[in-house]
Amino acid sequence: MPRTPSENERIRRATTEQILKTAMTLFCEKGYYSTSIDDVAKQAQISKGLLYHYFKGKEDLLAALVDLRINDVLVVMNAAVAKTTPSEQIQHIIEGALEDVSRQPEVFRFYLNLFTQPRLDPVVAKYSQKLMDEQARQFEIQTDMFVRLGVAEPRQRSLYFSSTLQGIMLMFSTYPNSFPLEKLKAQAIAEFCNNK
C-alpha cells in the first residue's frame, strides 16, 4: 500500500534535512571541492541517486546552505532592529554574531571561506557574491543605527564597527581554543554601544 501524502512529505523533509546536515558537516571539514557527492550520500546513508532526487546537484547543496546562512544572519538582524535604542541594537548585533560564531566556529569559518572565494571561480563565486550582497544590505540597516546613535561620521563608524566585529569573528574561528571571546566582546560593546 502506498504511503499517505503527509507521510511522504514527512520523509521528504527529514531526508532533505539529513542531506543538508551531512553536506554542511563535510564541507566544513574538508571544504566544498574536496567533498564528493559520493561522500555526502554515503555519510547521509542514502544512495547517490536519491540525493539527486532531492537536490539538482552539488551546487544546489551549496545554494541551500547559503540560504540557511543568510537566514541566520537575518534572524539576528531582525531581532536587533526590534530593540528600542540604537545602543541596544548594536549590542544585539555583537552578541548575536559572536554567539553564532562561538557555537560553531567551523561553520562560520566555512562561510567566511566561501565569502573570500575568488571572484571568477566558475562554481562558487555566485554564492560568494550572494553572501556579499546580503552583508551589504545588513550594512545599510546597521549604519542607520549609528545615525540614530548620533556619532559624527556614522557611515565610517559603521564600517569600522563591521571591520572590528568581522575581525573578531575571523580571529576566533581561526583560534577557537585560545581566543578570549567574552573579553573581546565586552571591549567591542564598550567601544561601540554608546556615543562617546
Partner DNA sequence: TATGAATGAGTGTTCATTCAT
Partner DNA sequence: TATGAATGAACACTCATTCAT
Kindly tell me which of 40 and 149 has the beta carbon lying closer to DNA.
40
Contacts 24+ apart (CB under 8 A), 73-79: 73/134, 73/135, 73/138, 76/100, 77/138, 77/141, 77/142
Q: Which of 15, 87, 104, 162 binds a copy of itself (CB under 8 A)?
A: 162
Q: Which of 78, 82, 171, 195 binds a copy of itself (CB under 8 A)?
A: 171
> What is the DSSP-derived secondary structure letter of residue 180?
-
Q: What is the largest CA-CA distance in the chain?
A: 70
Name which of DNA, a copy of itself, none residue 13 binds, using a CB cut-off of 5 to 8 Å depending on partner kind.
none
Contact 111, 69 (CB under 8 A): yes
**Which residues form the interface with DNA (CB under 7 A)?**
1-3, 5, 7-8, 11-12, 15, 34-38, 46-50, 52-53, 56-59
Interhelix angle 154-174/86-103, nearest 10 degrees: 20
CA-to-CA distance for 150 and 194, rounded, in angstroms?
9
Name which of DNA, a copy of itself, none residue 25 binds, using a CB cut-off of 5 to 8 Å depending on partner kind.
none
- Amino acid, single-letter form, for residue 64: A
Kindly tell me which of 40 and 168 has the beta carbon lying closer to a copy of itself.
168
Please identify which residue in the block is written with the cell numbers 561522500.
Answer: 39
Name which of a copy of itself, DNA, none residue 37 binds, using a CB cut-off of 5 to 8 Å depending on partner kind.
DNA
Q: How far is the CB of 15 from DNA (least distance, A)?
A: 4
Contact residues: a copy of itself, CB under 8 A: 2, 27-31, 33-34, 47, 106, 109-110, 112-113, 115-124, 132, 135-136, 156, 159-160, 162-168, 170-171, 173-175, 179-180, 183-184, 187
